[in-house]
Chain A
Amino acid sequence: MININARNILLTPFLIWAGLFIFIPLVCIVWYGITDYDGNFSFKNMGLIFERGYLDALKLSIWLALISTVICLLMAYPLCLILTERQRNNSTIISLLFILPLWMNSLLSTMAWQTILEGNGIINQLMRLLGLPTFQMINTEGAIVVGMVYNYLPYMVLPLYIALTKIDRRILEAAQDLGASSWQTFVKIILPLSLPGAVSGITMVFIPALTTFVISALLGGGKLLLIGNIIEQEFTFQYDWHVGCALSVILMIFIILNMLLTTYFDKADAEEDF
């Protein structure tokens, strides 16, 4: 009993923190989202999503976040497989190299990508030097995806890497012993056993990619608007908190949907164990 009481006392500061800085702001956002300027209950602002091309921005946001997540996943698996193999040979420096980008301000690294992809950027200058045709790279969907993948890849690598290091090497040897090739071992053993890591990686990449406005502003040149940019504009240029909050609530619904979906797949897999 004393133990439980002590634990509750220790929990109090966090509960106060969560209430003040998580719960109350959330209620405020929802409140602003579902009321009009006179403070009356209304879905008018939420309905705005179907106007002014907001729906296109949301669709584009989901699409680009999806592509970035898939690319991160495809890049992270081979990378993490190599890392776990290396880690067994005791060289943690390599794994550090892939976490290092996290130490850098994401605004800075995104601006660096700007100078690389620009019309007069590093890549195009190189192309010109070699007498090759130049490309329009900045202000494209591709540029935004590059920025997203670069910024969020570590968030995919970390949980995946941890999940993979938890797989006992003897399990892989057992699969090999029973006749499985490397590919069969990956599909039948490594993939299912690392799925929880992949799922949390997907969530950790998809959500920031869906809500970003910095990457799209710098690499999309303000021509390609994502839902994050629109929300930002509502707050900073239009000073319309009600529309901004309403759009944020809609975005939150998609994030919750994404989390429900991923946990559903995670659970479905866990249930297969029984």
Chain B
Amino acid sequence: MKGCWEMEKELIRLENVAKAFGNLRVLDEVDLSIYESEFITLLGPSGCGKTTMLRIIGGFEMPDMGRVIFDGKDITNLPPNKRPINTVFQKYSLFSHMNVEENIAFGPKIAGKSADYIRDKIKYALKLVNLEGYEKHDVTRLSGGQQQRIAIARAVVNEPKVLLLDEPLSALDLKLRRNMRRELVRINKETGITFIFVTHDQEEALSMSDRVVVMNQGYIQQVGTPENVYNEPENAFVADFIGDSNIIDGVMVRDKLVRIFGREYPCVDEGFPEECPVDVQIRPEDIILDAPQEGAFNGVVTRVVFWGMSYDINVEADGFEWLIQSTTRRTVGEKVSLHVAPENIQIMSKPQSEDEEVAQDD
């Protein structure tokens, strides 16, 4: 997948970008390439620097260090109104003293477009966000979802190269949020505008993006396709943040063999030095429960929670509380054995620098 993206045209490049607020380092020498027309998501917990990175791309914050390159030109010192980039803000930030039409016309009017052009554009933009005929409506009387659509229309109407979306769905209820996810992906594909989307919601990131940038404590932890970051997390933070995970200390015995809790298991990873300590990740849905067997990895069920689609089952084995997702019901106190296929054992190198160590503690 990675190779596929390298074929694309690079639109934005962050070079060595750093930003601090007082003593707090929000972004730490970050490098990132963003390609034309892609839907890229900056994902991380609050305070990870994702919003700051977005605001630096938008021109609302100046980086302390580094450069922002847009289409080959250095735009680091360009103010927001001079950048071919538009933003959809978290709380929509519609102009309450203007109606829908005036809100959408704001950008084109400033740009000095003709009245005919603007009228056509408003029609096109409202159609794009499925709010045809809403021209004269009062923005303060629209529902949250409708306000969000108007905010998108107001941005898209300027035909920006890039659309920045700062947690735009966080104020909407669940059902509306799911709808808007589909809408956003559709608008991205229909217009070809590059979408840079910020969220702390991993489900949102995985379901919408072409690529996900996982961030923590001002560092980029991993960049990859949704499948990539989910199935092959590069470190324990990514494994833990995206989906549920069992993360255990392990030691690589040799290529394709890992030792966990004194037992050796075949796996598919190679390239680690012998006897190298590693983090081992096993997804809850990848563990298969069976009747207890002699010589197998046996444990006792300690807790069962029903989630509708499946059960969350906790099993204690070797002093570790394993999380398992299964569609088969188990009872507390039941003895079971745990089985994992070699390809579902994900080996990750331990963090090396002290900064990264700190990052993982949170």
Contact A179 B87 (CB under 8 A): no
Interface centre among A173, A179, A192, A272 (most CB of B within 10 A): A179
**Binary interface encoding of chain B residues 102-117 relative to chain A, with 1 for a CB under 8 A from any of its CBs, else 0:** 0000110011000000
Q: Indicate if A86 sits at the interface (CB-CB under 8 A).
A: no
Q: Indicate if A49 sits at the interface (CB-CB under 8 A).
A: no
User: Chain B contacts of A274 at CB under 8 A?
Assistant: 99, 138
CA distance A261 to B57 in the complex (A): 46
Categorize the interface residue count of chain A: 20 to 34
Contact B97 A178 (CB under 8 A): no
Q: Indicate if A181 sits at the interface (CB-CB under 8 A).
A: yes
CA distance A261 to B176 in the complex (A): 45
User: Chain B contacts of A170 at CB under 8 A?
Assistant: 89-91, 93
| Chain A, interface SS category | helix
Contact A179 B99 (CB under 8 A): no
Given contacts A179-B107, A179-B111, contact A273 B81 (CB under 8 A): no
Contact of B110 among A180, A192, A269 (CB under 8 A): A180
| Interface size of B in residues (CB-CB distance below 8 Å) | 27
CA distance A171 to B151 in the complex (A): 11
CA distance A192 to B110 in the complex (A): 17
User: Chain B contacts of A51 at CB under 8 A?
Assistant: none
Contact of A189 among B90, B95, B155 (CB under 8 A): B95
Contact B95 A174 (CB under 8 A): yes
Residue of A nearest to B112 (CB): A179
Contact A273 B138 (CB under 8 A): yes
Give min CB distance, B75 to chain A, whole Å.
Answer: 14
Interface centre among B89, B97, B110, B140 (most CB of A within 10 A): B97
CA distance A257 to B87 in the complex (A): 45
Residue of A nearest to B137 (CB): A274
User: Chain B contacts of A44 at CB under 8 A?
Assistant: none
User: Chain B contacts of A175 at CB under 8 A?
Assistant: 95, 106
CA distance A184 to B79 in the complex (A): 14
Q: Indicate if B192 sits at the interface (CB-CB under 8 A).
A: no
Contact of A273 among B80, B97, B111 (CB under 8 A): B97
CA distance A174 to B92 in the complex (A): 9
CA distance A175 to B98 in the complex (A): 12
> What residues make up the interface of A, taking CB atoms closer than 8 Å to B?
168, 170-171, 173-181, 184, 188-189, 192-193, 269, 272-274
8 A-B pairs (CB sep. < 8 Å): A170-B89, A170-B90, A171-B93, A174-B95, A176-B79, A179-B107, A179-B111, A272-B97
